[in-house]
Each structure stands twice: as structure tokens, then as C-alpha cells.
Structure 1
Amino acid sequence: MTATHILAAEQLSVGYGERTVIEELDLVVPPGRITAIVGANACGKSTLLRSMSRLLAPRGGRVLLDGKAVHRLPAKELARTLGLLPQSPIAPEGITVADLVGRGRHPHQGVFTRWRPEDDAAVAAALEATQTAELADRAVDELSGGQRQRVWIAMALAQQTDVLLLDEPTTFLDVSHQIEVLDLLTDLNRARGTTVVMVLHDLNLAARYADHLVALAAGRLHAAGDPAEVLTEECVRTVFGLDSRVVVDPTSGRPLMLPIGRHRMRATTGALSLR
């Protein structure tokens, strides 16, 4: 099992240029659980994740990991505990899948530390878990969008952090691979106690897989808690401007959102995804 770490935002304000995206947000991520962040486009989901991983410095407030401000922690020390898969990562030109996934091991290597058998084992396990082992010798820029996404997830897994942040990990994946990735993250959480925080567009997949649901609206925290408490018709109306019916999924027992009205939507396996 992994160590228990507390990740939290206190009165956090973040923005770009003159625009403030998140304003005075308070949030505590439940340790050892799966948290999904949902909200309309441009509400601050990715901005929040980037700030929590210290890619964006706060304008006000702070992000804390075990009571210490993440923006003041040494980069390598933070990377051994907290991993991030950003929304649109860019691989160096010509790099192979195995080499890219191997970069997830860098935080565990010191100046005089050579590549170790445990590094090989971590990379192999990550490739196997994401079904990308057969792609190990291929150049990343030759792969399809779905294959590349699975390779990036493999790199994040190879890092073997106790806290894992993922910005839309199911992007570019077909329905089958979306479920496989979310099942994989669930297995990782259950087996190792890894704290998982992910941004998802699909409300029903978020409600199905998350232990803790966070709904953002216009850069502010609208609701946070158990999916059954957060995913309500009122929440969907306020956060997305969408009329809906929320029922109990007969298969999972989780809340299931059914949109009504003339809104754009696309079907997935028993779920509806807002774009």
C-alpha cells in the first residue's frame, strides 16, 4: 500500500494574464480515493489540476501537500509523490514508446544512480497494464491518438507515485479503451491505495468510477462529495445549464444523468457525454 498524503487547496486563486480562472477555492482531496472533477468547458478544471501539480503558480492562496506548499517543494521530491498526466502532452520527436515510459522513472534516480532492475520492472508493468508492450520499439509520433494516450498513461504509471493527477485520461480513446483505462485506475487505487484525481467530461463515467465528485462552475466550487449527493438535477442545471433527469443506474447503483431538451450529446456505453 502507498503512504497516505493529503492534497488540498486553500483560498486558491489562479489565472492567465489578466484573467482569473479560479477564485478563492477551498478543496481537500480524500486520500486513497478516486476523485473526479467535472464542469462545463472553461470552468477551470484543467487550471485547477495544473495548479495542484505546481505547473501554475497561484495568484492567491496555496496548494498544500501534507501541509507543505507544493510550489516550495523541490521538484524531484514532489515528483516522487505526485504525478501528472496533462491534457495535451508533447513527446520529443522520434522518441520510442519504451524511452518515453522510462522517463517516468527519472524522479527515482539521483545524480549517481544508474538504471536499476526495479526501473525495468516498473516500465514493463506499466506497458503491460496499458496494453502497449507490443508498441515498445515504435516511435510515439507514429502512433494513433488512442495509442499515444495509453502510452502517456503508461509513463504516469511507471512513475509509481502515491498521488496521480490526470487531465482527461480518456481523450482520444474509444469506448472500450475508456472503460479499460478507468478500470485500470480503479485497480491501481484499490490495490495500492493510490490517490487518483482526474478531470472527466463524461458525467456518468465520473459518477460510476469516482468515490468523490467535484463540480466546478465559473471557477468556483459548486459541490463536492459522494457522487449520489453531487450529481443531482439541480447541479447539472447550475453547472452545465442543462435540464436532465438523474436516476439510479440499475447496473452500478450509481447516479445516472439523462439529458432532456435540445442539447448536443453523444452516446457511450450506457452513458452520455457532454461536449
Structure 2
Amino acid sequence: MTTHHRLTAEGLTLGYGDRTVVDSLDLSVPPGRITVIVGANACGKSTLLRSMSRLLAPRAGRVVLDGKEVHRLPAKELARTLGLLPQSPIAPEGITVADLVGRGRHPHQGIFSRWNEKDDAAVAAALEATHTEPLAERAVDELSGGQRQRVWIAMALAQQTDLLLLDEPTTFLDASHQIEVLDLLTDLNRSRGTTIVMVLHDLNLAARYADHLIALADGGLHASGTPAEVLTEATVRAVFDLDSRIIEDPVSGRPLMLPIGRHHVLDRAEAPPAGEPAGRAPGRAPL
């Protein structure tokens, strides 16, 4: 079974150059659960994940893992506990899928240790779970965007960490593969107890798969809690400047967000007379 670790942010302030992206943020990641971070573009979602994995040093505050600041932990020690799949990873030119996935085992290699059967098994399991075994001997740069994304996820799985951070893991994937990947991560969480934190753009997928939902806005924490507590019409309006209706998802029983665009709301004064097709103004000839 996976060990449950405590990951928190305390008064965290992050930025680039003269720009502050996250300001005085406090949050706690529930151990052994799936946390999904949502928010508008450029609100700090990816920046937060980078700092939680020690890739970005905070301007103020700290990220704490089991009582220790992550930025003070040795990189290899942290990598045996916490794995990160960034938003746009870059593979070395010409590297094969099997070799890239195998790099997920590097944190488990000591100075004198050699590749062993446990490493083989971890890579094989990761390839199987992501349905990338047929691609094992192909060069990563020959793959489609969706195939590459699944290979990167396989590398993260091969690392076999107790905490896994993923920045938009469904990028480049079609609808079927998005569900497949999110089901895979859910199975990993349920079977091993892996704590998963991921950024998703699709609010309805976030609500369906999250145990804990975090909404960021204006450089801070706007709301956190269960999907039912966070995904409300008021939150969607405040965080995304979007009017919506929230109903119950008939499949999952979770909240389902229906966006309301201004072209989808028919004002009574503009409604076509009875018997005239909707979609064109009364009296206007069809094109």
C-alpha cells in the first residue's frame, strides 16, 4: 500500500519577473485522494504545481511535505515520493518510448545499483496501463500528440511515487482517451492509495473525477471542497466570468455545468412567431 504523505502550501507567493501570479496562498492536499485544480487561464494553476514539486522557488511562504520544506529536500529523495508530469514536457531527440518510460525509474537508482527485475516490471506495467506497449521501440518524436501524452503518463506511472502531480494530463487526447486516462488515474488512486493532484480545464471532468476540488482566482484560493460544494453557479461566474446552470450528472451523480452563452439564450422579445423556425429573425429570407 502507498504511504499517505501530507502536502501543504503555507502563505505561498509565486511569480515571474515583476509579475505575482499566486499571492499568500494556503491550501492542504487531502492524502490518499484525487484533488483537481481549476481556474481561468493564467490564474496560477501550473505555477502552483511547479512550486509544489520544487521546480519554482517561492517568493514568500513555503510548500511543506511531511513537515519538511520541499525546496530543502534533496532532489532524488523528493522524486522517490513525488512525481510531476508538466504541461509541455520535452523528450530528448531520438529517444524511444521504452527508454523514456524507463527514465521514470531513475530516482530509484543508487550510485552502485543496477537496473533490475523490479524496474522491468514497473516499466512493463506502465506501458500496459497506458496501452503504449506497441509503441515501445518507436521514437517518441515520431508519435502523434495523443500518443506522446500517453507515453509521458506512462513515465510518471513508472516512477511509482506516493504523490503524483499532473498538469493537464488529458491534453491532446480525444474524448475516449481522456476518459481512459482519468479512469486509469482513478484506479491507481483506489488500488494503491496514490495521492493525485491534477490540473484540468474541463469543469465537468473535474467534477466527475475529483474527491477534492480547488478553484483558483485572482492569485488566490477562491473555493475548495467537494465538487458539490465548489462547482456552483456563483463560483463559475466569479472564477470564469461565465453564466451557467448546474444540474446533476445522470451518470456520476456529481454536479454538471451547462454554460449559457449569450447566443443560446433567446429573449422573449426576439422569439420567432409560432410556426416560424427558430434560428433566424422573423420575416428574414433564408440564406
Q: Determine the structure 2 residue equivalent to 1:137.
A: 137
**The residue matched to 1:10 in structure 2 has which SS?**
strand
**1:87-236 superposed matches below 5 A:** 87-236=87-236
Matched residues in 2 for 1:49 and 1:146: separation?
22
> What are the Cα deviations for residues 210-248 of structure 1, in whole angstroms up to 9, with x where unaligned?
000000002110000000000000000000000000011
TM-fit CA distance, 1:120 = 0.2
TM-fit CA distance, 1:262 = 3.3
Matched residues in 2 for 1:184 and 1:149: separation?
14
Larger Rg: 2
Q: Determine the structure 2 residue equivalent to 1:45.
A: 45
Paired AA for residue 47 in structure 1:
T
Q: Determine the structure 2 residue equivalent to 1:79.
A: 79
Q: Determine the structure 2 residue equivalent to 1:262.
A: 262
Matched residues in 1 for 2:96 and 2:214: separation?
36
Aligned sequence identity (%):
84
Matched residues in 1 for 2:262 and 2:71: separation?
44
Matched residues in 2 for 1:43 and 1:255: separation?
23
Matched residues in 1 for 2:250 and 2:180: separation?
21
> What are the Cα deviations for residues 56-76 of structure 1, in whole angstroms up to 9, with x where unaligned?
000000000001000000000
TM-fit CA distance, 1:93 = 0.2
Q: Decide whether aligned partners of structure 1 residues 263 and 58 sit closer, same or farther in structure 2, where only a CA change above 3 A counts.
A: farther
Taking structure 1 as the reference length, what is the TM-score of the superposition? Answer: 0.95
Matched residues in 2 for 1:252 and 1:259: separation?
19
Q: Determine the structure 2 residue equivalent to 1:23.
A: 23
**The residue matched to 1:214 in structure 2 has which SS?**
strand
Matched residues in 1 for 2:250 and 2:196: separation?
26
Q: Determine the structure 2 residue equivalent to 1:250.
A: 250
For the aligned residue pairs, the C-alpha RMSD in angstroms reads 0.9
**The residue matched to 2:118 in structure 1 has which SS?**
helix
TM-fit CA distance, 1:263 = 8.1
**The residue matched to 2:10 in structure 1 has which SS?**
strand
Q: Decide whether aligned partners of structure 1 residues 106 and 263 sit closer, same or farther in structure 2, where only a CA change above 3 A counts.
A: farther
Matched residues in 2 for 1:143 and 1:99: separation?
14
**The residue matched to 2:216 in structure 1 has which SS?**
strand
**The residue matched to 1:48 in structure 2 has which SS?**
helix
Matched residues in 2 for 1:97 and 1:128: separation?
13
Q: Which runs of 5+ in 1 are unaligned?
A: 265-275
Taking structure 2 as the reference length, what is the TM-score of the superposition? Answer: 0.91
Number of matched pairs: 264
> What are the Cα deviations for residues 132-155 of structure 1, in whole angstroms up to 9, with x where unaligned?
000000000000000000000000
Paired AA for residue 34 in structure 2:
I
Matched residues in 2 for 1:252 and 1:143: separation?
33
Q: Which runs of 5+ in 2 are unaligned?
A: 265-287
